[in-house]
A and B are shown apart, each in its own frame.
Chain A
Amino acid sequence: MAEKKSCLKGVGLTKVFGLGRNKNTAVDHVDFDFSEGEIVSIVGESGSGKTTLAKMLLGLISTTEGEIYFQGKKRDIRSQRAKKEYWTNIQAIFQDPFSSYNIFNKIDSLFLDCINMRGGKNLPYEKKVEMMTEACSFVNLKFAELTNKYPFELSGGQMQRLMIARIFLLKPKILLADEPTSMIDACSRATILDMLLKLRNDTGMTIIFITHDIGLAYFVSDKVFIMEHGKFVESGTADEVILRPKEAYTKRLLNDVPKIHEEWDLSTVDIKNQ
């Protein structure tokens, strides 16, 4: 098997909020090495530090300690220029697809911005339309029906698909998806996950999928990292972690999810005693 190339690596990554008594270590010395073209999930309960880690990886907040390596080289985004350059390589979609977007912008201008960002500013308009049409059909939407629409005219699921179409146009090396399906109802979730898989398969993108839902993580990813109180407590291939968990915490998370073929054991929680 060919040696997999490192895409994003973290060594001793740490984020501490506050000082003294209010000190809160949100991310606590995590280590990882994500390979190119891999889908990795980071799974944890709310408050475990997932979004904080995501923000450090995106370069939106500083790290308290530790190093990030992008494609084998130590990341240095101190200058604005370096930051901009880094952001052509890593992009994100968030839980609320409406939040990352100016609602007074029409949808085609969202796409035009992406094309411009990828150096397509001077392309003829027909070429741009062709690219936008392709991006929309990638997520099973019809561009002709979307032009001139405002985002608030779309459902959450459609909007999230648009965000994926945006990523398709931007073609970053890494996509960071922070709970992209948690505001979307269960039946549109399958669609979003299928699209992430297709994105990776078609473009070789590395995808970091952040979720509190261990089932989604299992379905979509090659590797799974379980996060508890800012630490990675268990990691491995999706099959290893989900089907043969070693850590008590992972076992508990799995046990607490309702399933359909296995019994959901309610005896592990006691309403009288906690």
Chain B
Amino acid sequence: MGKVMLEVNELTTKYITRFNEDVYAVDHVSLKVEEGKSLGIAGESGCGKSTLALSLMGYYFSPLHYTSGEIIIDGQNITGMNPDAVRKSILGNEIAYIPQAAMNALNPTQKIINFIEDVVQAHDPKVSKKEIYELARERFEVLGLPKEVLQRYPVELSGGMKQRTVIATSVILEPKILIADEPSSALDVTSQKMVIKMLRYMMEKGYVKAMIFITHELPLLYNVTDDIMVMYAGQIVEKGSAQQTVFDPIHPYAKGLMGSIIVPESGLKDSKLTAIPGTPPNLKKPPEGCRFAERCKYVTPECKRFPVDMKYVEGNRSYRCIFSEEHLRKAYQNG
């Protein structure tokens, strides 16, 4: 087993809305990412993927609040660290986050190089502009971005180029962990491929030691990550290798997701897609028992009675359902 770069134990966080209502967006999430590995997070929109990403950086600001659990980055327990300290000594150099649609959030009146200066100086104000330029130029060159990009404004760059710029900048301080939240969703397929190749290359080069990749696009996740975690209504419902999770899911929700994969391969036209009926529960008032019960084809009254724990099964996998693996597989066979 490789060195553990990120370990999260039973992390629970919530939003407190203006009306003082709690939104339980991350509920008892545990995960581990080893050096050189990437973990994928899949799930419908609104299931808490982005909130989990924010939560596991330990950087809490209203309306997001920490409730319980711990976060350990490369052996350092950052649980309970104050936000200023997190911003100074964790964000960017221990763990970096590329938010959803980051490329569209670039300041339009700021040149790329000035954006990079801000990122570096937020961490260490003493670094000179000249040093930053040299570092950026070298890094951009290795990652296949022309150095001219540094002097450009965001509007002068194509979508793919902007996204690669954002990614290159996010690893400028060589963080241990990179979290990429839907990094290629807005791009054409060719630019997407370029982004993925660049992320891989950054891992190979050691600019990042481990990666968390968030997307609802399963074929992409399957091709990019070693392990996949499926989230539903703030909880992890299944965790395993990418291969296992895509081709042999255990949890009924994971099963449904995998059955809705659409890829241009022979056989697709004759296959029947599984659509999951209904919508996820309101996280202000999540169900007492299994959170998926309302939409589950295999539901029994028992499912709704108590909160369901993760079950650990053979092959380093886990899932959250009261039924045994065998029972579920039989149910799937019978349709």
Contact = CB atoms under 8 A, between A and B. Distances in A.
A190 B275 contact: yes
Nearest to A221: B269
A268 interface: yes
Contacts of A194: 273, 275
B16 interface: no
A260 B264 CA distance: 10
B276 interface: yes
Contacts, number: 121
Contact of A260 (B143, B193, B216, B263): B263
A158 B144 contact: no
A219 interface: yes
B137 to A, nearest CB: 15
Interface string A213-228: 1111111000000000
Contacts of B263: 215, 257-261
Kindly state the interface size class of chain A when it binds its partner: 35 or more
B45 A269 contact: no
Contacts of B224: 258
B198 interface: yes
A260 B219 contact: yes
B279 A187 contact: no
Which of A45, A156, A215, A269 has most B Cβ within 10 Å?
A269
A187 B223 contact: no
Interface string B241-272: 00000110000000011011111111011000
Interface stretch (B64-72, B90-98, B184-192, B300-308): B184-192
A84 B292 CA distance: 46
Nearest to B224: A258
Contact of B264 (A212, A242, A272, A273): A242
B334 to A, nearest CB: 21
B220 interface: yes
B218 interface: yes
Contacts of B143: 271
Interface string B147-176: 000000000000000001000000000000
Nearest to B187: A46
B277 interface: yes
A190 B274 contact: yes
A219 B218 CA distance: 16
Which of A140, A219, A253, A258 gathers most chain B CB within 10 Å?
Answer: A258
30 contacts: A46-B188, A158-B279, A185-B45, A186-B216, A186-B257, A187-B256, A187-B257, A187-B276, A190-B259, A190-B262, A190-B274, A193-B273, A212-B189, A219-B262, A253-B189, A256-B193, A257-B189, A257-B219, A258-B223, A259-B219, A259-B223, A260-B218, A261-B263, A266-B196, A266-B197, A269-B190, A269-B197, A271-B143, A271-B198, A271-B201
Interface of A: 45-46, 140, 155-158, 185-191, 193-194, 212-219, 238-239, 242-243, 252-254, 256-262, 264, 266, 268-274
The 5 closest A-B pairs by CB, nearest first: A271-B144, A256-B189, A190-B260, A190-B273, A191-B275
Interface of B: 44-46, 143-144, 164, 188-190, 192-194, 196-198, 200-201, 216-220, 222-224, 246-247, 256-257, 259-266, 268-269, 273-277, 279
